[in-house]
Chains A and B, each alone.
Chain A
Amino acid sequence: GAVVSQHPSRVICKSGTSVKIECRSLDFQATTMFWYRQFPKQSLMLMATSNEGSKATYEQGVEKDKFLINHASLTLSTLTVTSAHPEDSSFYICSAPTVNNEQFFGPGTRLTVL
């Protein structure tokens, strides 16, 4: 089946720095990708829908300037957490649908902000 990768799988950074997370569809093209975050023991929360060649669509309550999304190509979307703070520590996961609308998920990125 299709594969979606995320890099890095785990990142630790200092408060105030920015962190970039990549989501790649390895063997298919994805005009749309979804970004989620999840806190332990809590459900997955959709943050935004990334659209290739256009602006991302953010869910209510998600700060656009805080979580920058760039969908530069049909196989790559990036999420940049700007000026990260400890409360941004979370598990970030992306997903991408194929042309048949089958959804494939990345393995997730664990962000820890010190």
Chain B
Amino acid sequence: AQSVTQPDIHITVSEGASLELRCNYSYGATPYLFWYVQSPGQGLQLLLKYFSGDTLVQGIKGFEAEFKRSQSSFNLRKPSVHWSDAAEYFCAVGGVMDSNYQLIWGAGTKLIIKP
């Protein structure tokens, strides 16, 4: 069955520290991978996406993610977080299965920044 797992419901990091948010997926076809961020009361904003090519993708706001096929993972990283990064982060996997386009979402990880 197709699924996306974000193992961490909450993560707390100090401002200036590095960050890694985990995303693992199970998908029967070639996946398209996304990371979105959502600030309180706001809609989703795309951080980055992976369709093919270089497995290390750069996104907005200094984020990057690496696609590791052998581990079925697409973890999001940032070398130094800012207080404004406090938000909820969603990993999503999309693709075509049985001629239908699907989009499967992780449950989200809430990022808390300590001053």
A105 near B105: Cβ-Cβ < 8 Å: yes
Contact stretch, chosen from A15-23, A43-51, A80-88: A43-51
How distant is B52 from chain A, measured CB to nearest CB, in Å? 10
What interface size band does chain B fall in? 20 to 34
Given contacts A41-B51, A91-B103, A103-B88, contact A36 B43 (CB under 8 A): yes
How distant is B11 from chain A, measured CB to nearest CB, in Å? 15
Residues of B within 8 A of A49 (CB): 43
| Main secondary structure on A side of the interface with B | strand
How distant is B27 from chain A, measured CB to nearest CB, in Å? 15
Residues of B within 8 A of A24 (CB): none
A44 near B101: Cβ-Cβ < 8 Å: no
Q: In the complex, A10 Cα to B96 Cα: how many Å?
A: 14
Q: From residue 72 to 110 of chain B, which have CB atoms closer than 8 A to chain A?
A: 88, 90, 92, 94, 96, 100-103, 105, 107-108
Q: From residue 23 to 38 of chain A, which have CB atoms closer than 8 A to chain B?
A: 32, 34, 36, 38
Residues of B within 8 A of A105 (CB): 105
B25 at the interface (CB under 8 A from A): no
A110 near B101: Cβ-Cβ < 8 Å: yes
Residues of B within 8 A of A40 (CB): 94, 96, 101
Q: In the complex, A40 Cα to B103 Cα: how many Å?
A: 9
3 tightest A-B CB contacts, nearest first: A46-B43, A43-B46, A34-B43
Residues of A within 8 A of B (CB): 1, 10, 32, 34, 36, 38, 40-41, 43-44, 46, 49, 59, 91, 93, 95, 97, 101-103, 105, 108, 110
